[in-house]
Amino acid sequence: MKNSSHKTDVRYAGIRVLREVDEKEVFAQELISERCAQSDLSKRDKNLLTELVNGVIRHRLPLDTLISFFSNIPLNKIEPWVLYALRVGLYQIAYLDRIPLSAAINTSVALVKKLVRRTDAVRFTNAVLRAAERSIQNKSACEPEITDLQKALYRRKNIWCTFHHPIFPDPAKHLTSFLAINYSHPEWLIKRWISRYGKEKTVEMCKANNLAPRVFLRVNQGKISTREFLALLDKDGISARTINTAVVVENIAVFEIPGFAEGLFFVQDISAMKVAEFLKIEKSNTVLDMCAAPGGKTTHIAEFLGNTGWIYALDISAKRLQLTKENCLRMGIHNVSIVCGDASDEKAPFRMKFDRILIDAPCSNTGVLSRRVEARWRLKESDINKLAALQYSILKTGASLLKSNGYLVYSTCSIEPEENQGIIKKFMGSEPQFSLDAEEHYLPDMDKGDGGYMARLCKRQVYSY
């Protein structure tokens, strides 16, 4: 859909991405980047597209709760395009400040007019959005002003939106469903985290998961020094600072940062940057990266190797390995072989053994929910044990491919113990040749980065007499 000046309409692009993310099970961020690259959207509209798609996915549960409250049709009976248009409209009404309420309503109604072309659907969309708008009492209420939590929706940075009606569960009677709806996470995950981390920490993590994550850049030292890169950003008026070796950029989308195509940096969370370092790479090592795509850690390992040694980048996904290849080319890395295969298969396609092995395992992603916005809705509690079984078999294969005195790092971006300490404990119980050299786990934090886990195992030499 083009608007009157024949430019792509940003909300139309957004609603299509939202439906595709749900129906094709693709990653929202990858689809947003693809659409931004292909479209004639302005920089401002690209930012709005990112905000709308990520915001609607992150806040889906409170948005659907509002729709259910103001609609006379059950949620599962609402025509899909109408439902997406309602979510987009309500997100702007309840969570954004820049867009006038009338514009939020009119643009969603216009989407339904174009996509559904039925007057009852148009009338229904208009009625639900106007009822929600009329029910808002104060869009920027501070915590001390909240007298009835059933009428209050948490927005961000301790700002709430209050309503005239009691829409949300009573926290005194249904604490977990109140927290699940207000902070937009599945209830089973809230229960799990409360039992492990307590209510305060759980709420803090949920709040962090609902904010756009910080953009951390790993400067490609093979091409440019951090000082030179900061000067380049400064020249473009981009404010940046360093945290340890990472560069943090504020208020800017990745596509606006200079030097991407030239491979001057890799976008990588500060927690993910710790993993390659943890592997204790030495020059000339032969390294196996067993779950390598799209190559964030492969390219970091290459930096530690300099132009020495060799990396085998294995992954089960040919499509994601294509990204690994492109990233290696972009970053100017040539000592990598790309291998497509199943790392859980004990007959892994290698006859040789490796000095270092990295297993950055497929996981539930519960440490990176601010980045992987759709993950919280796709994940089921029963998936955690299934993932643990896969992770364990990948670890067993990796262990069989490590040289004596070599190091193996097992890492995830999950904060669930079954996928982390549980795997290592079980493994150590059955593999006396290995010792646990070091272990770290971290919870998601706005300033310190994503949540996750890493363990370094050492394979001892066994002498037979």
The residues binding ligand SAM (CB under 6 A) are 291-297, 314-317, 320, 342-344, 360, 362
Q: How far apart are CA 465 and CA 375, in angstroms?
A: 52
Nearest approach, Cβ of 141 to ligand SAM (angstroms)? 39
Q: Which is nearer to ligand SAM, 315 or 416 (CB)?
A: 315
Distance CA 99, CA 55 (A): 14
Q: Closer to ligand SAM at the Cβ: 263 or 294?
A: 294
CB of 421 to ligand SAM, least distance (A): 18
Is the CB of residue 328 less than 8 Å from the CB of residue 304?
no
Instruction: Give the sign of the dihedral formed by CA 408, CA 414, CA 416, CA 418.
Output: negative
> Is 342 marked as a binding-site residue?
yes
Q: Quick one: three-class SS letters along 333-401?
A: CCCEEEEECCCCCCCCCCCCCEEEEEEECCCCCCCCCCCCCCHHHHCCHHHHHHHHHHHHHHHHHHHHC
What is the closest distance, in whole angstroms, from the C-beta atom of residue 442 to ligand SAM in the complex?
16
Regarding beta strands 452-459 and 434-442, do their DSSP bridges make them parallel or antiparallel, or are they unpaired? Answer: antiparallel
Q: Is 293 annotated as ligand-binding?
A: yes
Number of CB atoms found within 10 A of residue 126's CB: 16
Query: Would the annotation count 292 as a binding residue?
Result: yes
274 is annotated as contributing to ligand binding: no
- Cα–Cα distance, 113 to 56 (Å, whole number): 21
Q: Whole-number minimum distance, CB 363 to ligand SAM, in Å?
A: 6
Q: How far is CA 390 from CA 30, 137, 387, 460, in A?
A: 25, 50, 5, 25
The nearer residue to ligand SAM, 151 or 218, going by C-beta atoms, is: 218
Residue number, 59 or 297, with CB nearest to ligand SAM: 297
Q: Could you give the CA distance from residue 62 to residue 171 in angstroms, rounded to a whole number?
A: 15
161 is catalytic: no
In the complex, the smallest distance separating the C-beta of residue 284 from ligand SAM, rounded to whole angstroms, is 22
Query: From CA 196, how far away is CA 211, in angstroms rounded?
Result: 23
C-beta of 297: minimal distance to ligand SAM in Å? 4
CA distance 295 to 326: 9
Burial class (CB in 10 A: 0-12, 13-18, 19+), 388: buried
SS3 of residue 304 by DSSP: helix
What's the alpha-carbon Rg for the chain, to the nearest Å?
Answer: 24
| 3 state SS of 291 | coil
In the bound complex, what is the minimum distance in angstroms from residue 149's beta carbon to ligand SAM? Answer: 37
Of the candidates 161, 206, 328, 413, the residue annotated as catalytic is 413
Nearer to ligand SAM, 97 or 345 (CB): 345
- Closest to ligand SAM by CB, 107 or 327: 327
Dig out the tokens for 399 from the structure. 């262990």
CB of 317 to ligand SAM, least distance (A): 4
296 labeled part of a ligand binding site: yes
432 among annotated binding-site residues:
no
Q: For ligand SAM, which is the closer residue by CB, 99 or 316?
A: 316
- 3-class DSSP state for residue 53? helix
Q: In the complex with ligand SAM, which residue's Cβ is closer, 294 or 309?
A: 294
CA separation for the pair 86, 63 (Å, rounded): 9
Place of tokens 């290698």: 350
Alpha-carbon span 76 to 174, nearest angstrom? 24
291 marked as part of a ligand binding site: yes
| Catalytic positions | 413
Query: Residues annotated as binding site?
Result: 291-297, 315, 342, 360
Query: Residues annotated as binding site for S-adenosyl-L-methionine?
Result: 291-297, 315, 342, 360
